């Protein structure tokens, strides 16, 4: 009777080991046969019913079986643990010959690159960078810059107004007036920033970037303007680049000029980029109108100044031969990548 039970337990445990698929199955068999309420444990509890003279033999027999099953389960468990570890390691193996997955590196937008290049060149010439508000009072955007009340740029069709007094600045020249109010000469500043006008075509955008320059000191003449901008052109474009001044008109400068660059593509012979003229229009500039100096409380009999304002998009288009400004705003990564 007892023998049958023992045989059953041994067979049951061995077949559980045989059919086990993983270490967990072995763990379950351990509980089932050797655990607190396991089959063999229950049988051991029945020892008290065995006649006293048989007890030592039966007891030994049960202990031997327990030791034997324990050893068999342990071996199986170790075998599974080993196999599972090997499989895990195999699955984790790195194939170092596989080519790596491409990661996208970030890059600066071409307009940021161009703006930084321009700013750095002027910093190298001793200019200081100044910031101004994009939502501006019409006094700084127009009045302080000698722009008369009836000037077309003040018209609501040409400027984004926010109420009667405030507007989205149409030019970074507005920063000039702020700086001259607060700072006395010598002044040598550069003001990069966004400006806004209701224009939208291949060469205009409702939002674009400008960089304004202003120098105020004693004895400044248009030769200083030419020297500074000529140096800038050589550094920004190429050492061979020349500039030329053409008469122009801005209310805040007198005289006013347009500054052209010799065309880098054809070296001045005339090509598609420069529309056959050999020159590319780059920026507006001039000698600061004494009325502008006086308006900000600077003595125009003692000080003079020169100023210039350039479009960053324009500079990028000229430098890289970009035909349409909208390419800079479409944010097509394939296009922008080329400038990295
Ligand atoms: N503010 C002018 C514009 O937006 C550019 C400009 C021209 C700035 C001449 C100047 C300057 O400082 O002297 O078109």
Confidence (pTM):
0.71
Indicate which residue's Cα is closest to atom 7 of ligand 1. Answer: 284
Query: Which of 10, 2, 251, 13 has its CA nearest to residue 143?
Result: 251
What is the Cα–Cα distance from 207 to 307, expressed in whole angstroms? Answer: 22
Instruction: Please list the pLDDT of the chain residue by residue as tens digits (340 residues).
Output: 778 888 999 999 999 999 999 888 999 999 999 988 888 888 888 888 888 888 888 888 889 999 999 999 999 999 989 998 898 888 888 888 888 787 777 889 999 999 999 999 999 999 999 999 999 999 999 999 999 999 999 998 899 999 999 999 999 999 999 999 999 999 999 999 999 999 988 888 999 999 999 999 999 999 999 999 999 999 999 999 999 999 999 999 999 999 999 998 888 888 888 889 999 999 999 999 999 999 999 999 999 999 999 999 999 998 888 888 899 999 898 898 888 7
Q: How far is the CA of 281 from the centre of ligand 1 (A)?
A: 13
- Residue 164 confidence (pLDDT): 92
Q: How far is the CA of 269 from the centre of ligand 1 (A)?
A: 28
- Residue 92 confidence (pLDDT): 85
Task: Check: CB of residue 259 under 8 Å from CB of residue 286.
Answer: no
CATH 3.30.930.10: does it fit domain 110-339?
A: yes
Give the residue extent of every domain in the chain.
2-92, 110-339
Q: What is the edge-to-edge ordering of all strands in the sheet holding 187-196?
A: 128-129, 187-196, 207-217, 304-311, 279-288, 253-262, 243-250
- Residue 3 confidence (pLDDT): 83
Task: Ligand 1 pocket test: pick from 178, 188, 205, 285 the residue with the most ligand atoms within 8 Å of its Cβ.
Answer: 285
DSSP state of 170: S
Q: Which residues line ligand 1 (CB under 6 A)?
A: 171, 173, 212, 250, 253, 284-286, 307-309
Q: How far is the CA of 102 from the centre of ligand 1 (A)?
A: 45
- Residue 256 confidence (pLDDT): 98
Indicate which residue's Cα is closest to atom 5 of ligand 1. Answer: 309
- Residues in Cβ contact with 302 at an 8 Å cutoff, skipping those fewer than 6 apart: 218
């Amino acid at each position: 009777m007892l023998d049958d039970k023992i045989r059953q337990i041994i067979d049951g445990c061995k077949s559980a080991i045989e059919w086990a698929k993983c270490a967990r199955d072995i763990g379950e068999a351990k509980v089932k046969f050797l655990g607190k309420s396991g089959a063999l444990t229950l049988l051991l509890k029945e020892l008290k019913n065995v006649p006293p003279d048989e007890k030592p033999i039966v007891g030994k027999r049960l202990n031997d079986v327990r030791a034997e099953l324990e050893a068999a389960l342990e071996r199986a468990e170790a075998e599974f643990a080993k196999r599972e570890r090997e499989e895990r390691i195999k699955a984790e193996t790195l194939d170092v010959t596989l080519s790596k997955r491409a990661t996208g590196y970030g890059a600066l937008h071409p307009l940021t690159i161009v703006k930084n290049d321009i700013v750095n060149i002027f910093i190298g010439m001793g200019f200081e960078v100044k910031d101004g508000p994009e939502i501006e009072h019409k006094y700084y955007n127009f009045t302080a810059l000698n722009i008369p009340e009836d000037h077309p740029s003040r018209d609501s069709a040409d400027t984004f107004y926010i109420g009667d007094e405030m507007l989205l600045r149409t030019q970074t020249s507005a920063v000039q007036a702020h700086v001259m109010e607060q700072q006395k000469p010598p002044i040598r500043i550069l003001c990069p920033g966004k400006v806004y006008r209701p224009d939208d075509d291949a060469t205009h955008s409702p939002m674009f970037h400008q960089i304004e320059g202003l120098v105020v000191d004693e004895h400044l003449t248009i030769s200083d303007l030419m020297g500074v901008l000529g140096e800038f052109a050589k550094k920004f474009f190429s050492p061979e680049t020349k500039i030329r001044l053409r008469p122009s008109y801005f209310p805040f400068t007198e005289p006013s000029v347009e500054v052209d660059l010799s065309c880098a593509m054809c070296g001045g012979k005339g090509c598609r980029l420069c529309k056959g003229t050999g020159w590319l229009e780059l920026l507006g500039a001039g000698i600061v109108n004494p009325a502008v100096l006086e308006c900000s409380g600077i003595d125009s009999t003692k000080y003079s100044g020169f100023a210039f304002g350039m479009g960053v998009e324009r500079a990028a288009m000229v430098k890289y031969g970009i035909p349409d400004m909208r390419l800079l705003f479409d944010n097509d990564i394939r296009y922008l990548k080329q400038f990295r």
